[in-house]
Chains A and B, each alone.
Chain A
Amino acid sequence: MFTELNSILNATPDSFTQGEFILVSDRQSDASFLIHHFLSFYLRARCKVCFLGLVQSFSHYSAISQRLGVSLTQAREKGQLIFLEGLKESLSILIPQETTTGSQAMDFLRDPTVGLQRLYEFVRSSVSSDGGGEEGVEEWGPPVLLVDDVSVLLSLGVSAGAVLDFSHYCRATVCSQLQGNIVMLVRCHGEEAEDDGSDEGSEWLLKGLTHQCSLTLHVQGLPTGYCRDIHGQVEVCWRRRRGDGQHTQKKLFQYKVHDKGASFFAPGTSSAVL
């Protein structure tokens, strides 16, 4: 959890805006540090977190969260965290073994044309399950869905339209119905291209998700190239009006990722420059 980012987004684990759809995107850079931030943030905020980890193994996320001061293993045991390990699940579908019952969440691997309905049902059941209440388990706050990252679904053969349907259903359930939050990561490769609304690709997906979301964090490399003291820039854009009449508000920050955290500063005010 990066406190500097919290103050930028005007959120603390004790009080944060509910019902938000946060879109994290990157281009020629790596925004996964933001996913780790949001994961530790919502776990500290005592939210019920459903994490679709499609890129890395559980131990990878666990090791990083440990550094940020949150134990994923404990959270999972307490029932606060529901972790879908995409790598393992897909393996159990691609190489079926009798012993593994497995969830049906990754069913789209068998036939990508059917869409992501099963994955959505997995999300819905994990965010809305009350745990029965009989064990006297702890009560958790509003549900949170984190996806790292949705562009992997494109690589697995799912169409971008199906991903948009999936995100729409997640938004309707998590954000609107349960007043929880969603954080999704999309990666775009290469330069920004004018691709005339063609129906595929991560660019199109990014546009579609941008129309759905309420807050975007877009991470880019520095336009001037690599720098040792500045790792890139992040553009924060609020898209929904928040009562006070402001529609869209954009802010640009440069950042540097440290061993245990990250610092954000206004462009041109890094220690290397001043």
Chain B
Amino acid sequence: MLSELLQGTDTGAVLIIQDSCSYSGQHLLKSFISAALNKEEAVHVLGFDVSEEELKDGLTASTQRLHFHSAYTDPLGWTNRTAFTVHQFCVEELTHLLKQTSHPKPVTLVIDSLSWILRHVSPPAVCKTLQQLKKGGAVRAVIGLLHADMHQRGTVGSVCHLATSVITVAPGTKGDEAVAKITKRSKSGKVMQDEEIFSIKGDFSVTVVSKTSHAGHRQTEPEEHQTDPTANLTFNIRLSDTEREAKEKLALPFVFSKEKKTALLQSGPGSGRILYEPDANDDYDQEDPDDDLDV
């Protein structure tokens, strides 16, 4: 589903990429920018997290249609060098910003990152702006990066409610791979969930390594980690029904059954009698060891 999302998004789509400290969603965001540029779309980036150089670094597609609105150098207006401050994050300012460049093509707005805005603008205001952008028609799609571990769960939840698609990225088990949990809401109201393992190449193309359905993944995971100790045994530890029957019939040597008891206690005549013939040598006096000497 990830490549599907990269290929094309419907009009009025809001896509949120959620990441955390352990895996940065920046690379996937760049993949989306690169994919949008390859589709001949105009991309406007509202950059808080990274500088323009860093964002454009490695993007092979022509960056002519990439418009970077730098909120990185001065997001709060401390140094008066600003192109865009965080407090300007509202529909009027954004549409004004998008109209500065004329292009007939549909516009994709990339917000890098929503976390920066949410730290300074109240969550309801951010949600309202996102909703207006979604409905307004000034942009075709909004793609936002959200550092989910920086906000309260409620804030993350309400922002993700607005989104038509949410991609949560987490580190994979090996090397360059990462896991993406995708939730997609179609216009009909159907919700699709999927989990995919992907890797991002040097030119920001995304390769889906394997797909794991949500339930299936959960089941296979523990088996991989807990190696079965009974896997390669040289003997059989399971019993068939006949074997079990035979086992249950067998009387164990230490169990005293009635028959066994009587057999042991009532000795038959002539068996087990002790015969004793007194011997002179057996009559040994402890107190006088020299008794037998003829002194």
Measured in the bound complex, the distance between the Cα atoms of B79 and A117 in whole Å is 9
- On chain B, the residues within 8 Å of A104 by CB distance are none
The reply to whether B21 and A210 contact each other, CB–CB distance below 8 Å, is yes
> How many residue-residue contacts, CB under 8 A, span A and B?
69
> Count the B residues whose beta carbon is within 8 Å of the partner chain — how many?
34
Q: Does B149 contact A (CB under 8 A)?
A: yes
Interface stretch (choices B49-57, B185-193, B213-221, B229-237) = B49-57
Task: Map CB proximity to A onto B191-211 as digits: 1 under 8 Å, 0 otherwise.
Answer: 000000000111000000000
Q: Does A245 contact B (CB under 8 A)?
A: yes
Chain B: CB-nearest residue to A120: B78
The reply to whether A177 and B21 contact each other, CB–CB distance below 8 Å, is no
- 141-183 of chain B: CB within 8 A of chain A: 147, 149-153, 155-156, 171, 176, 178
Measured in the bound complex, the distance between the Cα atoms of B58 and A244 in whole Å is 11
The reply to whether A245 and B176 contact each other, CB–CB distance below 8 Å, is yes
- On chain B, the residues within 8 Å of A45 by CB distance are none
- 227-258 of chain A: CB within 8 A of chain B: 239, 241, 243-248
Measured in the bound complex, the distance between the Cα atoms of B153 and A113 in whole Å is 26
- 141-173 of chain A: CB within 8 A of chain B: 161, 164-165, 168-169, 172
Chain A: CB-nearest residue to B149: A207
- On chain B, the residues within 8 Å of A204 by CB distance are 150
- 184-212 of chain A: CB within 8 A of chain B: 196-199, 204, 207-208, 210-212
Min CB–CB distance A136 → chain B (angstroms): 30
Q: Which of B23, B53, B155 contacts A248 (CB 8 A)?
A: B23
Q: Does A28 contact B (CB under 8 A)?
A: no
Q: Which of B23, B27, B73, B149 contacts A197 (CB 8 A)?
A: B149
- On chain B, the residues within 8 Å of A117 by CB distance are 78
Q: Which of A172, A196, A197, A210 contacts B74 (CB 8 A)?
A: A172
The reply to whether B149 and A176 contact each other, CB–CB distance below 8 Å, is no
Q: Which of A161, A207, A241 contacts B27 (CB 8 A)?
A: A241
- On chain B, the residues within 8 Å of A208 by CB distance are 147, 150
- On chain A, the residues within 8 Å of B155 by CB distance are 197
- On chain B, the residues within 8 Å of A210 by CB distance are 21
- On chain A, the residues within 8 Å of B79 by CB distance are 124, 169
Q: Indicate the member of A198, A239, A246, A248 with the most B CB atoms within 10 Å.
A: A248
- On chain A, the residues within 8 Å of B18 by CB distance are none
- On chain A, the residues within 8 Å of B74 by CB distance are 169, 172
Report 10 cross-chain contacts, Cβ distance below 8 Å, ordered by A residue.
Answer: A117-B78, A169-B79, A172-B72, A196-B152, A197-B149, A204-B150, A207-B149, A208-B147, A211-B150, A247-B178
Interface residues of B (CB under 8 A from A): 21, 23-24, 27, 49, 51, 53-54, 58, 72-76, 78-79, 115-116, 119-120, 147, 149-153, 155-156, 171, 176, 178, 200-202
Given contacts A245-B176, A248-B171, 11 further A-B pairs with CB under 8 A are A121-B78, A165-B75, A196-B152, A199-B152, A207-B149, A208-B150, A211-B49, A211-B115, A211-B147, A243-B202, A244-B202
